[in-house]
Amino acid sequence: RLRHGRIWRNSTEIPAKRLPKVLIIGVKKAGTRALLEFLRAHPSIESPGPEPHFFDRNYHRGLHWYRELMPKSYHDQLTVEKTPAYFVSSEVPQRVFDLDPNMKLLLVVRDPVTRAISDYCQAASKHPVKPFERMAMENGIQGQIHANWSAIRIGLYAQHMARWLNVFPPSQFYVVDGQRLVDHPAAELTQVEKFLGISSFIRDSHFRLRSFKGKFPCLVREDGSVHCLNERSKGRAHPVVQENVLHRLRKFYKPHNERFFNMVGRTFDWKS
Ligand code: A3P
């Protein structure tokens, strides 16, 4: 009997490295790490920790390289990987389809204005940057929105989603509400379990709010230990951004958000 992922198995099956059947394709800074860490608590899920970046930067390394990155799993488990750059890389949807036209695609979204600020905070933690307002606006705050700045461009969800929907049918996507993942993680995970066709396993008792910045749920492991996401890189303090710049950004994103809501058949409670 082998113990694997909290399941006692009588079978003689030998676990093997398998290609993913599920991808968390994005969006960067919307809660993709939290989604993966929470899903990994499920006995039917296996996943590599780091981001493989296979379908974007490492495609030339080939499928053997990709498979080698995967943990061993049983045939009735699902391997999941997350690389948020997939959502915004134009060549990725077709490459994924070529590998597996049945791939299930998870997308976590968050208010694009907050997401842009979160992205900026990540950049600021690595190298010196100008204030957010100066990055976001061209020629001073009366000027145009700097739509080509990656922190802003990534938030044009409709543009990126349109490319994915050219290749995959809507039924193969599940859009996770990044805010609900913080406020009601078990409820959001139940929806994801349904979409993936795995048993309903993750419950409220899997989560605990620890002192970690107060507001983010941490995962309670099988042995009772509590696992929070990295305190330095997740849940960073955001700068206070000038209200007029926030207002301009919200106006800028509004039509894009509406297009996105139409595409996915769902609306989100965003300020923009
Ligand atoms: P902030 O650092 O701006 O708060 P990603 O993993 O895609 O990079 O997303 C990072 C974001 O995940 C964080 O952005 C945080 O808001 C969000 N998040 C969602 N659930 C979380 C959790 N349980 N613990 C920490 N961060 C969480």
**pLDDT of res. 3:** 43
Instruction: Check: CB of residue 56 under 8 Å from CB of residue 85.
Output: yes
Q: Which pLDDT band holds residue 238 (cuts at 50, 70, 90)?
A: very high
Can you tell me which atom of ligand 1 is nearest the CA of 122?
Answer: 2
**pLDDT of res. 190:** 98
> What average pLDDT does this structure show over 138-152?
90
The answer to the question of residue 271 being in a domain is no
Tell the residue nearest (CA) to atom 2 of ligand 1: 235
CA distance 199 to 2: 20
For residue 179 the two structure tokens come to 């805010």
Q: Does residue 28 line the site of ligand 1, with CB under 6 A?
A: yes
Q: Does residue 106 line the site of ligand 1, with CB under 6 A?
A: no
**pLDDT of res. 213:** 59
Q: Using the predicted structure, report yes or no on whether residue 222 has a pLDDT greater than 70.
A: yes
- DSSP, residue by residue, 116-147: HHHHHHHHHHHS----HHHHHBTTSTTS-B-T
Within 88-216, strands assigned E span 104-109, 173-177, 207-209
The answer to the question of residue 149 being in a domain is yes
> What average pLDDT does this structure show over 67-75?
96
| Rounded distance from Cα 238 to ligand 1 centre (Å) | 12
Q: Using the predicted structure, report yes or no on whether residue 139 has a pLDDT greater than 70.
A: yes
| Rounded distance from Cα 34 to ligand 1 centre (Å) | 6
Can you tell me which atom of ligand 1 is nearest the CA of 27?
Answer: 7
Q: Using the predicted structure, report yes or no on whether residue 214 has a pLDDT greater than 80.
A: no
pLDDT, one tens digit per residue, over 27-42 is 999 999 999 999 999 9
Enclosing domain of residue 206: 2-264
- Which distant-in-sequence residues (6+ apart) come within 8 Å of 228 by Cβ? 210, 212, 216, 218, 219
Q: Which pLDDT band holds residue 212 (cuts at 50, 70, 90)?
A: low
Find the CATH number of the domain harbouring 25. 3.40.50.300
**pLDDT of res. 231:** 79
- Substitution candidate for ligand 1 out of 24, 29, 82, 115 with most atoms within 8 A of CB: 29
Residue 166 CA to its chain's centroid (Å): 21
The answer to the question of residue 232 being in a domain is yes
The answer to the question of residue 270 being in a domain is no
The answer to the question of residue 269 being in a domain is no
Q: Using the predicted structure, report yes or no on whether residue 5 has a pLDDT greater than 60.
A: no
| Rounded distance from Cα 228 to ligand 1 centre (Å) | 11
Q: Which pLDDT band holds residue 6 (cuts at 50, 70, 90)?
A: low
Q: Does residue 82 line the site of ligand 1, with CB under 6 A?
A: no
Q: Using the predicted structure, report yes or no on whether residue 2 has a pLDDT greater than 60.
A: no
Give, in degrees to the nearest 5, the angle at Cα 51 between 50 and 56: 155
The answer to the question of residue 179 being in a domain is yes
Tally the domains of the chain: 1
Comparing 155 with 215, the larger pLDDT belongs to 155
Quote the mean pLDDT of the chain. Answer: 93
| Rounded distance from Cα 123 to ligand 1 centre (Å) | 15
Within 32-171, strands assigned E span 45-46, 72-73, 78-82, 104-109
